[in-house]
Amino acid sequence: MDTVILKHILSSQGAVDLEELECNIGDVAEIIESNDKLVVCSVSGTRKVVARSRVRLCRDEACPGCGGLHLCRLLFLSGVCPFLQTRGCAFCHDLRSEYNMEVRREFGLEEMSRAELCLLLLQSNNTLLPQICHDYNNRSGCPGNCQRLHVCERYLHRDCSCFRTHDFFAPQPLQLLQKKHIPDHLIKVLKSVYANKEALRLADKENGKSNSSFDISQENEGLIRTFKTKMTSLTAAGTERRVTDLQ
């Protein structure tokens, strides 16, 4: 049932009305309460169930096993890696590799497609997308070569006709999104993704948590796992040397 609900939410751009979910599936209160991938939030003034996950996309091509997905970012976001046929790519390109399937099972995501995982991580992860620029939204402008999106924050939650940008395909946001390798088909749904990200942030704030702590906790788990892996390797190497010396 958890997977059915998660897939239903992801097919609706990452969030669905709580009432709609209850009408289609029935009483989901206990499922939501016991599932860290489902969060009841206020999105644009409406009570919705938003999907999230603690799994992350690892950025270290030589990582021995951090608990995050080991996958090429370009392949993950667009389904294609242009470097495979040219200069080559050092990252894994198999979402169903033994390691990646182990990670997916650990987080209850083994039945999710690449597109579903992509949307899920975009609204759960603070590193895949650039932030919305606070200065642009609260001052007359933002000086310098800003690396945050110049998009109206109010536009994310309701119709707005102010002088600020209301289009992710405008030159400044588009340039930054392309630097992050976000393809056009995902840019088209970013209004919902950013609204969901903000709803999750506010929900965490109400519950005494933060998005950063949500990210850091998973990173810490990865560091601990990497440390244990390295210690196991060192211990094995040391044992092998001692056996050799005895011989």
Determine the Cα–Cα distance for residues 157 and 141; give it in Å rounded to an integer: 21
Name the nearest CA neighbour of 137 among 155, 152, 156, 158: 152
Given a contact cutoff of 8 angstroms between Cβ atoms, the answer to whether 196 and 15 are in contact is: yes
Distance of alpha carbon 187 from the chain centroid: 15
Q: Is the pLDDT of residue 193 over 90?
A: yes
Distance of alpha carbon 37 from the chain centroid: 12
The two structure tokens encoding residue 86: 């040219």
The beta strand positions in the chain, using DSSP E, are 15-17, 38-43, 46-51
Q: Is the pLDDT of residue 61 over 60?
A: yes
Q: Write the pLDDT tens digit of every residue in 141-182.
A: 787 789 999 999 999 988 899 999 999 999 999 999 999 999
- Residues above pLDDT 70, as percent of the chain: 83
**pLDDT higher at 156 or 209:** 156
Provide the pLDDT for residue 213: 44
- Is this model's pTM higher than 0.85 or not? no
